[in-house]
Structure 1
Amino acid sequence: MTTDRTGALTLLDTLAGLQDDFLTTIPRVDPATRVPWCGRWRVTDLVVHLARIHHWAAGQASRTQETPLGRGPFVLEQLYATCAAELRDTLTALGPDARAWTLVGNGPASFWHRRQTHETLVHLWDLRTAGGLGLEVEPALWADTVDEVVTVMQPRQERMGRMEPLAAPIELVADDAGRSWLLGAPTEPVPSATVTGPAETLALLLWGRARQDDPRLAVSGDAAALADALGRRLTP
């Protein structure tokens, strides 16, 4: 994670660092390795997916229709390096305030600094965990992953009719980052359940990579309401 002099996340630099980590991890993991939290995917599918997403996001940021990459087969490291560089170069050239297409309508290109940082972080976790490798990331970055789900992704899922609103919110408390959130049901201030734990585990919970019975998490309140919330399409 990179911060500026005020301590705020500088996400374009953070994105570049995560992309570099992803690229250097690719040759360390057998491409046929299963990625069980991503359905039937193997590592090959994961790498191609993230490369395609970077390529697509570069087009969204510059408001141009991307040229399809084709079906492959691909040389994984070469493909990922090319698409990662394309995204970084595009975002750098545009600057954060350029007008872009985003997941929530027209907005600043900086939207993609954040969105692609968290897309890369989650898939870097996927890749390294599938390969039995650890990943050390500061809690503040994982906390921002949680924040993006709560403030952008889950509300968008509701607006698009991909999930019904929660009857009552779920409180999320990152005890290593000093942050908390209410997920869903913004008009109802009283949470049905509270989940406390490391920001990383909360982020992985929302992205379907951790379970509510994870020993790193403490759950109070209505566990059934939490299970119901987690069973919905909180993210695309």
Structure 2
Amino acid sequence: MPAPRTRADATLDALARAQEAFATLLDAADPDAPVPACGIWTVTDLALHLGGVHTWAAGMARGTDDGGDDRTGPREPAALRATYRAQAADLLATLRALPADAPGLTLNGPGPASFWHRRQLHETLVHLHDLADATGVPHPVTDPTPWADAVDEVVTVLAPRQVRLGRATPWVAPVRLTATDLPCAWTLASPGRPVADEDAVAATVTGPAAALALLLWGRTTTADPRLAVSGDAETLADVLGRALTP
């Protein structure tokens, strides 16, 4: 009798699908095309970055930090595509082989290898958005579940880390993020300033989980027609203008 599927299985399956979608778009993309969300980067730079992050994350899951030099690699198109696929496969094989509680390194120090399951899924989802945007096609991942988890990761892990590292300054008033395609909502509060009363929320953004995640990652704005804003727009803009993600 097969073992029951776990949340880790589902997350790694979703990572595999996102990696394959990225590789498929990369196969057809102009390697010199600009990536609007990533400054001066081209598609080549984006692929080198994501592949390098996959390699770094695989090492971190095993307990080794190689510094994450993430844009070294071949720039010739065929070699670039083959290298990304190899790096993606190595990451996936590493995460599948390691027990979820295997000791590794996380963004916050020593921790379980499973930290990298969601982190690499979300990294791939966001950069898959960047590649789809650069190539003029819709994002191929429409399931709201991983996008909702991406929102949760920013609110509970990444934004607090950015403040702790001094990359983002604390903010006073919390904001609310409410998904319309799943029964999920989050309060984005500055670390160390818990929200005792929901009435203290300065503004609320409502929309699909994907749009909320992309908003937090700076890939869309509150002018996105999928999003609705209520409350203090100036305070909301102030919070979203901080470096909430790495």
The verdict on a shared fold, with TM-score over 0.5 as the criterion, is yes
Matches within 5 A, 1:1-236: 10-66=10-66, 70-74=72-76, 75-135=79-139, 136-185=141-190, 186-188=193-195, 189=197, 190-236=200-246
Q: Distance in 2 between matches of 1:162 and 1:27?
A: 35
Answer with 35-44 or 181-190: which moved more. 181-190
Question: Aligned pair in 2 of structure 1 residues 160, 170: CA closer, same or farther (>3 Å)?
Answer: same
Q: Flag structure 1 segments of 5+ consecutive residues without an equivalent.
A: none
User: 1:55-108: per-residue Cα shift (whole Å, max 9, x none)?
Assistant: 100111111244968454352111101111111111122121101100011111
Answer with 13-22 or 50-59: which moved more. 13-22
Q: Flag structure 2 segments of 5+ consecutive residues without an equivalent.
A: none
Q: Distance in 2 between matches of 1:78 and 1:5?
A: 31
Question: Aligned pair in 2 of structure 1 residues 71, 141: CA closer, same or farther (>3 Å)?
Answer: closer
The size of the alignment, in residue pairs, is: 233
TM-score (norm 2): 0.89
Question: Aligned pair in 2 of structure 1 residues 91, 187: CA closer, same or farther (>3 Å)?
Answer: same
Contact 2:104 2:112 in 1 (8 A): yes
Contact 2:36 2:130 in 1 (8 A): no
Answer with 90-99 or 190-199: which moved more. 90-99
Q: Distance in 2 between matches of 1:99 and 1:7?
A: 19
Q: Which amino acid aligns with 1:192?
A: A
Alpha carbon RMSD of aligned pairs, Å? 1.9
